[in-house]
Amino acid sequence: MATLNEYYPQEVFHPCETLNEKLEEMRMSRKEFALRTGKPEKTIIAVLKGESSITSEMAVLFENITKIPAHFWLNKQAKFNEYKARLKRKYDVEQAEEWTRNFPYAEMAKNNWVPTTRKIEEKTINLFEYFAVSTHDAWNKLYMESELKVAAYASLKHTHEPHAISAWLRQGELQSEQIKSPEYNKIEFKKTLQAIKNIMAKHPEDFFQQLQKLCLQAGVKVFYTPKLPKVPISGSTRWIKNAPIIQLTARYKQNDRFWFTFFHEAGHILLHGKKYISLEGIDFSEADPRKEQQAHIFAEEWTFSKEQEKEVLAATPLNKDDIIAFAEKFNTHPAMIIGRLQHKELIPYSIGREFIKSIDLNNN
């Protein structure tokens, strides 16, 4: 990570300072110098006033007259150009202070997404590097205006906490880059879902590692990204560099919610292709209610279908053994049945809590 000190070098002067001194030493007027170089007088005057840069062509011409090597003039000019750029960078950093304050920087640092610091200038520079942008205006064009028309980006302009959402999405991009995957195979992914359903039904301790492995074999990247404060996101589906990704937060930290979210996102991949981006739990302008409903139905079918729900309700009242028997019959987890009935307020939340498994993906 860059530090702020790199952006505040000592003052560097335009090479015209040295060139003017040399002409004075040679007792040569600006007009004569221009004639000897063969360049227009106004061009040379602009250089001597520091209003224009010394080009490679000029440096070679100056070499013949001043007897000072061309690389000297070019190095002088390069250092001055960098100095001016650093001053501009300092200005950009200062202008982005309010932008920086909108991010949950402390939480991002806690997750090791950015270096820990209390200095606002360093926070800004670190955020520029995190998002791989040069200015906060560039961030705005990517995440608020969505000027880059690819599925990895969607306009967050009308969302609550767009800065935090963008930070979470960016972390997904960085995680995705670390995962090598074969080319996406839609047929293979469809086949894989049955094996994943079996994992859901048994919910072993290493369920997440098994899930990741099976999806990766079909070219789908699945990973966990901790949610940030005030961002009620459960998961996201996007295509990054031609590869589908499912980014999950395990927001509710319980298995029924986790598995429904996964199958919901899997539904987006299979049903809606590369151009659609899903942000589950976030109300944003590019969300399509019809496609979200389709993904919801897809998740229901794979976890605990409507028909299965009717069959369970027809057998009420239910005891613990009944729930287990239905779960085995439908090849699902009892938590999926209990969770659905609780969500629809058909049974109180106090009943069947023993079936709900707590999950923690922080160590995955």
Q: Which residues contact 333 (CB under 8 A, 6 or more apart)?
A: 200, 201, 202, 203, 255, 256, 259, 327, 355, 357
Residues 265 and 281 both lie in one domain? yes
Domain's final residue, options 155, 177, 199: 177
Instruction: Quote the domain boundaries for residue 106.
Output: 98-177
Indicate whether 29 belongs to any domain.
yes
Residue 88 sits in the same domain as residue 103: no
Rounded to an integer, what distance in angstroms lies between the CA atom of residue 298 and that of residue 296? 5
User: What are the phi and psi torsion angles at 293 (to 5°)?
Assistant: -65, -40
Instruction: Flag whether pLDDT at 7 surpasses 50.
Output: no
185-231 per-position pLDDT tens digit: 999 999 999 999 999 999 999 999 999 999 999 999 999 999 998 88
Reported confidence tier of residue 148, pLDDT bands at 50, 70, 90 = very low
Task: Kindly state whether residue 362 falls inside one of the protein's structural domains.
Answer: no
Residue 320: the pLDDT is 87
Q: How far apart are CA 145 and CA 142, in angstroms?
A: 6
Q: Are residue 272 and residue 305 in the same domain, yes or no?
A: yes
The answer, yes or no, to whether residue 260 has pLDDT greater than 60, is yes
Q: Are residues 230 and 303 in the same domain?
A: yes
295 and 195 housed in the same domain: yes
Which candidate, 219, 217, 215, 223, places its Cα nearest to that of 241?
219
Give per-residue pLDDT as tens, 25-67. 999 999 999 999 999 999 999 999 999 999 999 999 999 999 9
Query: Domain containing 13 — which CATH number?
Result: 1.10.260.40
Q: Are residues 253 and 280 in the same domain?
A: yes
The whole-angstrom separation of Cα 298 and Cα 277 is 17
Find the DSSP H helices in 203-254: 207-217
Question: Of the candidates 94, 112, 141, which is a domain's last residue?
Answer: 94
**pLDDT surpassing 80 at residue 2:** no
Task: Tell which wins on pLDDT, 273 or 294.
Answer: 294
pLDDT at 4 over 50: no
- At residue 101, the pLDDT reads 96
Residue 144 pLDDT:
86
What are residue 201's phi and psi, to 5 degrees?
-65, -40
Domain C-terminal end among 116, 151, 177: 177
**Are 213 and 270 contained in the same domain?**
yes
Number of domains in the chain: 3
Question: What is the mean pLDDT of the segment spanning 122-146?
Answer: 91
- 363 within some domain: no
Q: What is the per-residue pLDDT for 298? A: 97
Mean of the per-residue pLDDT values of the chain = 90
Q: What is the mean pLDDT of residues 161-177?
A: 94
Q: Quote the tokens at residue 87.
A: 């001053």
Rounded CA gap, 92 and 86, in Å?
Answer: 10
Which range, of 19-23, 82-86, 230-234, 243-247, averages the lowest pLDDT? Answer: 82-86
CA dihedral 352, 346, 262, 353 (to 10 degrees): -10
pLDDT in the model for residue 86:
82
Q: Is residue 364 part of a domain?
A: no
Instruction: Tell me, yes or no, whether 171 and 106 share the same domain.
Output: yes
| pLDDT > 50? residue 308 | yes
Q: Is the pLDDT of residue 150 over 80?
A: no
Segment 68-92 shows an average pLDDT of 91
Q: How much of the chain is helix, strand and coil, in % rounded to 5?
A: 60, 5, 35
Q: Are residues 227 and 340 in the same domain?
A: yes
> What spatial distance separates the first Cα and last Cα of the chain, rounded to whole Å?
26
223's tokens: 């990973």
Calculate mean pLDDT across residues 228-249.
Answer: 92
Q: Quick one: average pLDDT of 307-335?
A: 92
| 134 located within any domain | yes
284 lies in the same domain as 296: yes
Q: Are residues 199 and 320 in the same domain?
A: yes
Q: Residue 138 pLDDT > 50, yes or no? A: yes
Q: What confidence tier does 9 reach under pLDDT thresholds 50, 70, 90?
A: low
Does a structural domain hold residue 361? no
Residue 141 inside a domain? The answer is yes
Residues 223 and 270 in one domain: yes
